[in-house]
């Protein structure tokens, strides 16, 4: 590896910040303490700070020379409503809240890069450090954009990164085009006429209708979308009735849809509405579909992805960069930023969990898991990548 010596020398300082954040997790749009720590750290290093974008977001601006040319670097700050089962010293001190996705590490890596760039940065242009709230279901990226993020702090491109358990520690994974899927939720309510279970002909059965709708929806995946267009339609809830001998008046089912393109999503939603309406009508019931689009697909720009992979290679070597990593059907609200600006989102391997201190939980070190912990060995890797990326980008 070709890590930056000054960043390696600051490792313990940045690790301490990371563990402080881990010990004090805050949920979406409640990241007041984390935002304060971030802002005060940036100010201490001489970076201009702007607070309150997207409610609790923080933006740091660092200019050198003419200030022309600009790049955005983004980290997310929020935690999850999970009870941590780890018992190591830096475990969560807030019951029911935990940094189970590594946003503490993402924030620390970007802070490490900001510190180095402020003290030793060799560039001509503007670097915008974006510390975003509410990635976990709160669309904090969209909130910051709506608060004028890119109007107040224009950038030529924007970049993000996420740690990835299971990938060897210190390895990068990236791909041009879709890297993460869209996230969408639906709920279908079916209204019929209740009856005694022994005399179903006297009613209109919403449970039977719900089952037929559930079967019909799977036909969208196998018969309506193109086979090469990846999509998942998962029914995760079916609720109806209170007594075994009564056909209820109402039933509902819900679930998620995930796609790599908006076009495929449009096809699925349109077909869902037709199947729900027609199936309910066929069984003399009424049905209503509520379809909510949460996050769009995360789609990397080809040119910026190639450029980012070159910066990764400069830090960890070609053998540790997978430039055609398999996309995931998980979702990420950095997608909103990529709708506004060209850029690239990448994965940084978090290892298999062997890095965890004594006292970690019994479960695997996977994302959104109560025994997860960020791998502090990645801090210097991620910070070095951010620095090399920014300096190379502005040198162009």
* Tens-place pLDDT, residues 153-162: 999 999 999 9
Classify residue 384 as exposed, middle or buried by CB count within 10 Å of its CB (0-12, 13-18, 19+): buried
pLDDT at 67: 77
Q: What is the mean pLDDT of residues 346-352?
A: 97
According to DSSP, the residues that pair with 322 across neighbouring strands are: 173
Contact 346, 77 (CB under 8 A): no
In this prediction, residue 396 carries a pLDDT of: 83
Closest CA to 71 of 108, 126, 33: 126
Rounded to an integer, the average pLDDT of 170-190 is 98
Report the candidate in 167, 243, 181, 239 with the shortest Cα–Cα distance to residue 206: 239
- pLDDT of 66 > 90? The answer is no
List the alpha helices (DSSP H) in the chain: 5-9, 11-23, 32-44, 103-120, 140-146, 149-152, 206-219, 262-282, 302-316, 334-340, 379-395
Report the alpha-carbon distance of residue 258 to residue 265 in Å, rounded. Answer: 8
Helix axes 379-395, 302-316, angle to 10 degrees: 130
Q: Residue 49: how many CA atoms within 13 Å on its side-chain side?
A: 20
| Burial group, residue 151, by CB count within 10 angstroms (0-12, 13-18, 19+) | exposed
Q: Which CATH class is domain 5-181+297-395?
A: alpha beta
Given this model, what pLDDT does residue 270 score? 98
Q: What is the mean pLDDT of residues 33-55?
A: 98
pLDDT digits (tens, 9 = 90+) for 306-346: 999 999 999 999 999 999 999 999 999 999 999 999 999 99
Rounded Cα–Cα distance for residues 331 and 258 (Å): 8
Tell whether the model's pLDDT for residue 365 goes beyond 90: yes
Strand order through the sheet with 343-351: 48-53, 57-64, 125-132, 70-76, 157-165, 343-351, 172-173, 321-322
The yes-or-no verdict on residue 217 having pLDDT over 80 is: yes
The model's confidence at residue 68, banded by pLDDT at 50, 70 and 90, is: confident
| Range scoring the smallest mean pLDDT among 107-111, 215-219, 246-250, 353-357 | 353-357
Selection from 123, 111, 87 nearest residue 396 by Cα: 123
Sort 45 into a burial class: Cβ within 10 Å, 0-12 / 13-18 / 19+. Answer: middle
CA 206, 212, 213, 214 torsion: positive or negative?
Answer: positive
Residue 316 corresponds to which tokens in the numbers above? 């960890």
pLDDT of 104 reads 98
Model confidence at 165, pLDDT cuts 50, 70, 90, reads very high
Beta-carbon contacts of 261 under 8 Å, excluding residues fewer than 6 positions away, are 178, 229, 297
Cβ atoms of 21 and 373 within 8 Å: the answer is no
The share of the chain scoring above pLDDT 70, in percent, equals: 100
pLDDT class of 357 with cuts at 50, 70, 90? confident
Question: Distance between CA 394 and CA 159 in Å, rounded?
Answer: 14
DSSP at 221: I
CATH topology of domain 183-295: Alpha-Beta Plaits (3.30.70)
CA torsion angle for 64, 65, 67, 69 (degrees, to 10)? -100
Reported pTM: 0.95
Supply 195's token pair. 């009856």
Rounded Cα–Cα distance for residues 206 and 217 (Å): 16
CA atoms of 40 and 46, how far apart (whole Å): 10
Q: What is the residue-averaged pLDDT of the chain?
A: 97
pLDDT of res. 238: 97
**In the chain, where the domains are located:** 5-181+297-395, 183-295
Q: Is the CB of residue 253 less than 8 Å from the CB of residue 213?
A: yes
Rounded to an integer, the average pLDDT of 129-142 is 98
């Amino acid at each position: 590896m070709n890590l930056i010596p000054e960043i390696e020398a600051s490792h313990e300082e940045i690790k301490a910040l990371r563990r402080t954040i881990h010990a004090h997790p805050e949920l979406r749009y409640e990241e007041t303490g984390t935002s304060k720590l971030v802002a005060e750290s940036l100010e201490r290093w001489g970076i201009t700070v702007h607070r309150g974008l997207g409610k609790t977001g923080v933006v740091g601006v660092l200019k050198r020379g003419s200030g022309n040319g600009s790049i955005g670097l983004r980290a997310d700050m929020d935690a999850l409503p999970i009870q941590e089962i780890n018992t190591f010293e830096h475990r969560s001190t807030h019951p029911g809240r935990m940094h189970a996705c590594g946003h503490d590490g993402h924030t620390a890596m970007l802070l490490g890069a900001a510190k180095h760039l402020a003290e030793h940065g060799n560039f001509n242009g503007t670097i915008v450090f974006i510390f975003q709230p509410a990635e976990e279901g709160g669309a904090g990226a969209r909130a910051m954009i709506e608060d004028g993020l890119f109007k107040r702090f224009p950038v030529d491109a924007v970049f993000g990164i996420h740690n990835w358990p299971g990938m060897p520690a210190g390895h990068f994974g990236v791909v041009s085009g879709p890297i993460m899927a869209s996230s969408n939720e639906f709920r279908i309510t079916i209204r019929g006429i209740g009856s005694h279970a022994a005399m179903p002909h006297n009613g209109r059965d919403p449970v039977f209708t719900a089952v037929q709708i559930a079967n019909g929806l799977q036909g969208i995946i196998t018969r309506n979308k193109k086979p090469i267009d990846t999509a998942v339609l998962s029914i995760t809830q079916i609720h109806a009735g209170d007594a075994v001998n009564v056909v209820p008046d109402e039933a509902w089912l819900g679930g998620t849809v995930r796609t790599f393109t908006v076009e495929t999503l449009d096809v699925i939603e349109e077909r869902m509405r037709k199947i729900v309406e027609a199936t309910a009508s066929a069984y003399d019931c009424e049905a209503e579909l509520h379809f909510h689009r949460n996050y769009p697909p995360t789609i990397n720009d080809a040119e910026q992805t190639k450029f980012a992979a070159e910066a990764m290679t400069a830090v960890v070597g070609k053998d540790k960069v997978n430039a055609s990593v398999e996309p995931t059907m998980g979702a990420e609200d950095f997608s909103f930023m990529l709708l506004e600006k060209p850029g690239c989102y990448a994965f940084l391997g978090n290892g298999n969990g062997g890095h965890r201190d004594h006292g970690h939980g019994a479960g695997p070190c996977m994302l959104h898991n109560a025994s997860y912990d960020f791998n502090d060995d990645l801090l210097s890797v991620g910070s070095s990548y951010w620095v090399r990326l920014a300096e190379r980008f502005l040198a162009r």
